[in-house]
Amino acid sequence: MSLFEQRWVTVQQKTFTKWLNSKIKVRDVEIQDLVSDLSDGVILIHLLEVLSHESLGRYASKPKLRVQKFENVNKALDFVKGRGIQMTNIGAEDVVDGNRKIILGLIWTLILRFTISDINEEGLSAKEGLLLWCQRKTACYEEVEIRDFSTSWNDGLAFCALLDIHRPDLMDYDSLDKSDHRGNMALAFEIATKEIGIPDLLDVEDVCDVAKPDERSLMTYIAYWFHAFSQMEKVENAGRRVEKFVQNMQGAWEMQNSFEKRMRELLRQIAEQKTSWEEAKFEGTYADAKNQSVEFMAYKKGKKRAWVAEKSDLVGLLGNIKTKLSTYRLRPYEPPAELSLEALDRAWAGLMKAERDRSQIINETIRDIKNALRRSFADKANSLALALQTISVSISGLEGEVDDQLQHTQRLSHNLQPLDEYLDIIAGIDEQCQEANIEENDFTTYTYEELEYELGLVKSSVSKKLAFLENQMVAREMTNLTPIQLEEFESVFRHFDRDLSNSLHELEFSAALASLGLVYDEAEMHEKFKETSGGRDYVTFEQFIRFMVDVTEDQNTAEQVFESFREVADGKPYVTELDLRHSLIPEEVVEEMIATMPTHSGPGTAEDADLPKFDYVTFMQKLMGTSDSPGVNGNKR
């Protein structure tokens, strides 16, 4: 026999001996030598009765003769054959005579039949099924790869993984030193024996210290692991079934409580909604009616849909309760009458009627409010339009003395303020009409924008008329201005009075003077404005006219007359009769000046070569009694 054969025979004999002792322990017997202790057939009969849970009948319990030993062994072998177990080349004499290989083969056959053969994974053979079980249990461990019942188990990690996947409370797999094969194996065997109750059929050296551990020994040992953990799983499964049953019963009770609670709440909400609609009042405004309409639509999209879903869920829940109780053959559940599906149907029908009534009253209220808004707007719009028309006619028909016209216009201006307030009222009604989406109104042709525009026109017309009349009063007192001057000044004032306030601000005042040919530097203009306005930030028409009177009167000084002569002469030191007539000086005045002024002896322009020239410089010097040219030291305005 080779060394390898000796090793596996030794390991098998040791493992099978431990296996056998673990089985016959209940008979208070134990063997030391598998070969010699089975020779009389007594231990073999004990083993078969324990494995099969059957009696083999009478046998020689203390055989002395060889024939008695043969009879015991044959009884055992016949029993095995009677169970359909193939026993090729195994005879009674092999056992009685202590044939080690035959005896090991016999024990292995029994191990396969009574320990391993009931392992079934997906219809595979016992060996394949056991291997598949090991692979599945350790699939999530990267360091473990079980390919067989031999070398795959050398490092002890496969045993540690089986322990960790079933009882992680007994081992910290992640903290293991994966290179410590003997340590890992010893730890796994110790925990398996002490904590799980698996017989210690193998020693550490039987697996770690050999290149190829014995397959049959490993299968025998691992089968104990399978049965131990399978039994554990069976117990756990049984516990889960009990737990599931209790949970189902508790679940059924909770479903009943939930059904009643939810049904009661749904019925309460339905009744509350109906009461809310019955007690609802309208304030008479479109905003309130529309808000109630929006709330009603929100109810239909929100509450009602939720209630429809809840109603359906409750019907399904009641059906599930009845099905669950029927499954466990328990007494069927019937909810209280006030919480029954019939009670829900009655409440729902009442809700639908209340919903129709609510929709109808909201729509009718909105229609009534819209019509009321149309009439209200039309009444006030037509009244304002008539008032504006009356004022316009009154303004356009004014005649008579200026004083009387001014008084009448002032009364009209005073009466315009209530119209502003009246237009504000119309604006509020128009806003309500817009909120109510009222686009047409058969009771009036006016819109708020039209009335606002027409009121502005009337106000502007009255304001202009009032300013005109007030200015006429001022102009009437300005007797030292010619009508042409007054008309010019008044026209300029109106042109620069952009806001129709009958007054000019400083920039407007400056622009008006500039258009009349009166130009000052910025500082002097500011002083003129302050003097004219009396310290206010605007100049009235009367103040403007008085200023122009002062300026016009001031133009009669000799210096300014001389300056005027020079402007008429276009800067020349002489004037011609044509120059004087072009300046619109009256004809008799022109003739008087021609007769009075000396002729100019100096040269003239080519255009004036054939015309008489008059020396206005010498003429003014004689009048002023000075030899200096007048206006040299004067201020030009």
- The pLDDT, as a whole number, for residue 482 is 66
Q: Is the pLDDT of residue 634 over 50?
A: no
Decide if 229 is inside a domain: no
Give the total number of structural domains in the chain: 4
Query: Looking at the structure, do residues 268 and 403 belong to the same domain, yes or no?
Result: yes
Query: Please, what is the Cα angle at 561 between 633 and 506, to 5 degrees?
Result: 75
Query: Looking at the structure, do residues 65 and 140 belong to the same domain, yes or no?
Result: no
Average pLDDT over residues 74-79: 92
* Residue 271 contacts residue 263 (beta carbons within 8 Å): no
Query: Looking at the structure, do residues 423 and 521 belong to the same domain, yes or no?
Result: no
Decide if 269 is inside a domain: yes
Query: Looking at the structure, do residues 276 and 385 belong to the same domain, yes or no?
Result: yes
CATH number at residue 38: 1.10.418.10
* Gap between the Cα atoms of 412 and 403, Å rounded: 14
Query: Looking at the structure, do residues 136 and 106 belong to the same domain, yes or no?
Result: no
**Could you tell me the pLDDT band of residue 637, with boundaries at 50, 70 and 90?**
very low
| Cα dihedral: 547, 553, 555, 561 (round 10) | 170
Query: Looking at the structure, do residues 483 and 534 belong to the same domain, yes or no?
Result: yes
* Residue 540 contacts residue 503 (beta carbons within 8 Å): yes
Average pLDDT over residues 167-179: 92
Q: Flag the least confident range among 39-48, 306-315, 357-366, 431-440.
A: 431-440
Distances from the Cα of 256 to the Cαs of 210, 247, 253, 335, in angstroms? Answer: 65, 14, 5, 8
If one compares 407 and 335, the residue with the highest pLDDT of the two is 335
* Gap between the Cα atoms of 486 and 484, Å rounded: 5
Query: Looking at the structure, do residues 95 and 173 belong to the same domain, yes or no?
Result: no
In the predicted model, what is the mean pLDDT of the chain? Answer: 86
- The pLDDT, as a whole number, for residue 123 is 59
Lookup result for tokens 């009396």 = 534
Query: Looking at the structure, do residues 372 and 418 belong to the same domain, yes or no?
Result: yes
Task: Name the residue range of residue 502's domain.
Answer: 475-624
**Could you tell me the pLDDT band of residue 272, with boundaries at 50, 70 and 90?**
very high
Q: Is the pLDDT of residue 636 over 50?
A: no
CATH number at residue 587: 1.10.238.10
End residue of a domain, out of 442, 474, 506: 474
Decide if 262 is inside a domain: yes
Query: Looking at the structure, do residues 194 and 46 belong to the same domain, yes or no?
Result: no
Decide if 632 is inside a domain: no
End residue of a domain, out of 116, 142, 157: 116
Query: Looking at the structure, do residues 156 and 85 belong to the same domain, yes or no?
Result: no
Query: Looking at the structure, do residues 461 and 482 belong to the same domain, yes or no?
Result: no
Decide if 222 is inside a domain: no
Query: Looking at the structure, do residues 432 and 498 belong to the same domain, yes or no?
Result: no
